[in-house]
Structure 1
Amino acid sequence: MARVRAALYLDFDNVFSGLIKQDPDVAIQFAKDPAAWLVRLTTALTVDGPRRWLILRCYMNPGGWVPNPDPDASPPRLYYSQFRPFFVNAGFEVIDCPRLTHTKNAADIRMVVDAVDTLADPVRYEEFVIASGDSDMTPLLVRLRRADRRTTIVSPSDAAEAFIAVADRLITSQELLELVQGEPVESDEEPAPAVDPETPVSYEQFRDLVGWRYTAATGPLNLASLAHDLRRQLGPSVDETSWFGNGGFVRALESLTLPNAKFSNHFVWDALRHEPPESGAGPGPAPEPVARLSALLSLPRLPREMWPAVYQSLADYAAVHHFNLTEATRWARDQMAAQGVDVSRSAIAFVTRGTAFGGAPLYRQPPPQATEIASAFADNVLNRAEAAAIALSDDEIAEVRSWLGAA
């Protein structure tokens, strides 16, 4: 297969400072062994095929630093300059971008100028990989798209929607950390059985999936969440066949004759093993301010009752494990699935990142409690809303905090 001629522009300060807030150990591995993750990025998370790196540039403030995540370690600061030799040895051209003002260096404008200059090169670069979460790069992506070049963003945090919208691919911080650790880069979810999208899904596959979830559940299963999960795992066949000829999801469940199954408007449960759900309990629609944040900030669309379960599962993980972001999201997802709560890894990762940027990272000692995680996450969501000029009244802010379980 012909390789795609690619150029990589890395804003080291932006990416490293974003990663270290989420997973310090892997962030330092990212900075000390760039050759390893670069090799993996050659064939992983591609747009049009494996990459051939013709340009590798790392833009770094030689005087930049972040606080050492280990408060007992010496020195108390991690200077970016100590990582410079590792990138040189990995084949990067390291471009020093000292700070020009109190808060800003010239890395972003240097990256833009260099990338636009590359468009005029005799060699046609087919893909531009921009490693930065800075939304100031949006005009550059628009310019590259106009020149019919493929673009990939490597973002260390939750990038602005406008930034993501003009790129062909987004590599999230979780996917980047998986690459750094040499782990298989997982999609949003890992379906139980492999389903060939070209092959119609069978009723037996539906029966097996539901039976596994029903048997493993330790409490009532939310029907909306279960239907969403099955659509994701089984693909469009469930809708194309109207749930295998049953005319609806609940009728399809009833056709399975699950042992001791009881149904309400919002739940299904085993009458012998589970306590029935509270009367009137149900997901309910999200209030307008929450729906607005979901649309503008990609806030996960979880029902109100699921947020505390996410915070508690992350607190449980942090209390007994040495923190690792990719392990944390898997562990929390699997723990909640065993309790009959279906939440995707991407939603859990969104909360984990927000908690870190909100001031309560899971690697902190002592580990944060569920209430601290909830508060930090809600603070981060509202801070991002303010930065994005999303106007919220005091009552709407209170409504958002209440929905997120941080009232």
Structure 2
Amino acid sequence: MAHTRTAFFLDFDNVFSGLFKLDPEVAVQFATEPGVWLRRLATTLTADAPRRWLILRCYLNPAGWVNHRDDKGEPTRLYFSRFRPSFVRAGFEVIDCPRYNATKNAADIRIVVDAVDALADDTRYEEFVIASGDSDMTPLLQRLRRADRRTMIVSPADAAEAFTAIADQLLDSQQLLALVQGEPVDLDDLDDEANADFVPDEAYEQFRTIVTAEYEAAGSPLNMAALAYRLRSELGPVVGTSNWFGFGSFARALETLDLPGLHMSQHLLWDEHRHDPPEPAAPGAPRTVLPEPVERLADQLSLPRLPEAWWPSIYETLSAYAREHRFNLTQCTSWSRDRLRDNGVPVSRGAVAFVVRGTSFGGFPLHRQPPPTPSEIASAFVNNVLSRAEAAQIPFTDEEANDVRSWLGSPSA
């Protein structure tokens, strides 16, 4: 049986800490049962054949820890060293990476050095899986691409766009939590696996056929959301798993088709030679044009492009979920999406997951007791977004930051 020869490098501190902020129970499951999810990962989001793990390395700070509560509810420290035997039993080579300053250990440097060394090995590793959300490793991804190797990023956080855009595949926090828990690894709102047999190249050609036929037959501008929905329905999960065939978005994939006279707006596409340009939105229509500072965040941090009036509903719905349920990210995104759509706010699960992650990394995870209020969720999410913007060196004046807070429903600093 054919296999994909794969090297796997895991920054344990980075991944475990990120998962722990989202869901402590699943994070502990990730760390105590690595052999279980590793077997699932061997056949998840694969290109040609199941993975054969030729290199398995886990980089771990044995003195690292997170705040935790014991079985009696008393605060304690959960040390990373307790998980070392689990990874050894799963076949990982565990490499100790103690801190060399107050905030960093040597894991990222060791991963870069070891991955570059692997490129020079006699064995040709066809795929490199890097489990980390640390954008410092962006040059490594660029080096692997130049060497014509496939790459997958496994990240529990909203990693920088420049980092994830280089990879062939991204396994994000929701997909990683699903993998650990044995659930289907799928963020597609359609939850439709009926057409999962397409490989990306075949699916891209089918994509080209469908879009070209629709474009040539259209007598007026086409709705991009409706066309994307149809494509997801007909092509199945390969659209999501390949991230639009490696182009990163529906619009970028459309541009590769070289359709004659193609013009696109935020919602429509049309042929400038055959169609009249779409009319501007009526004054009473829902606002979809983002303020310039918010547009920057949408472009560079993948902030969901949602109307201003929707954000408070999202926070209220997430708070209601936290009050009424034991937290599970997969259930949370599905339940919240359905509740919001019932209330006339048609958001995607991906948008909900984006807010949940931001809330968790902003200090108010939904599993917290007592559950966070809508205002706490809003404040944590917006603070996280602005913090990520600062880390990504996206400049904002105080006035622009206030515009962002106002649009996202958390006007107070």
* TM-score normalised by L of structure 2: 0.79
Query: For residues 5-404 of structure 1, what are the structure 2 equivalents within 5 Å?
Result: 5-68=5-68, 73-74=73-74, 76-190=76-190, 198=206, 230-235=226-231, 280=284, 282-404=286-408
Query: 2:82 aligns to what SS in structure 1?
Result: helix
Counterpart of 1:362, as a letter, is L
Query: 1:73 aligns to what SS in structure 2?
Result: coil
In 2: Cα distance, 1:4 partner to 1:28 partner: 29
Contact 1:47 1:150 in 2 (8 A): no
Counterpart of 1:101, as a letter, is N
In 1: Cα distance, 2:54 partner to 2:172 partner: 23
Aligned match of 2:264: none
Q: CA deviation at 1:47?
A: 3.4
In 2: Cα distance, 1:18 partner to 1:193 partner: 29
Counterpart of 2:333, as a letter, is T
RMSD: 2.6
**Cα deviation code 1:188-232 (max 9, x no counterpart):** 32267967975999xxxxxxxxxxxxxxxxxxxxxxxxx665333
Runs (5+) with no aligned partner, structure 2: 211-222, 235-253, 260-266, 269-280
In 1: Cα distance, 2:69 partner to 2:62 partner: 19
Aligned match of 2:240: none
In 2: Cα distance, 1:47 partner to 1:7 partner: 15
Contact 2:64 2:80 in 1 (8 A): yes
Query: 1:5 aligns to what SS in structure 2?
Result: strand
Query: 1:235 aligns to what SS in structure 2?
Result: helix
**Cα deviation code 1:374-400 (max 9, x no counterpart):** 111111111111111111111111111
Counterpart of 2:287, as a letter, is P
Contact 2:9 2:129 in 1 (8 A): yes
In 2: Cα distance, 1:57 partner to 1:237 partner: 38
- Alpha-carbon spacing, 1:75–1:90, altered in 2? closer, same or farther (3 Å): farther
Runs (5+) with no aligned partner, structure 1: 202-226, 241-247, 250-264, 267-278
- Deviant stretches of 4+, over 6 Å: 236-240
In 2: Cα distance, 1:381 partner to 1:117 partner: 36
In 2: Cα distance, 1:101 partner to 1:157 partner: 23
In 1: Cα distance, 2:193 partner to 2:393 partner: 43
Contact 2:144 2:151 in 1 (8 A): yes
Contact 1:362 1:368 in 2 (8 A): yes
In 1: Cα distance, 2:317 partner to 2:224 partner: 21
Counterpart of 1:334, as a letter, is D
Larger Rg over CA atoms: 1
Query: 1:334 aligns to what SS in structure 2?
Result: helix
- Alpha-carbon spacing, 1:304–1:127, altered in 2? closer, same or farther (3 Å): same
Contact 2:288 2:306 in 1 (8 A): no
In 1: Cα distance, 2:86 partner to 2:66 partner: 18
* TM-score normalised by L of structure 1: 0.80
Contact 1:3 1:50 in 2 (8 A): yes
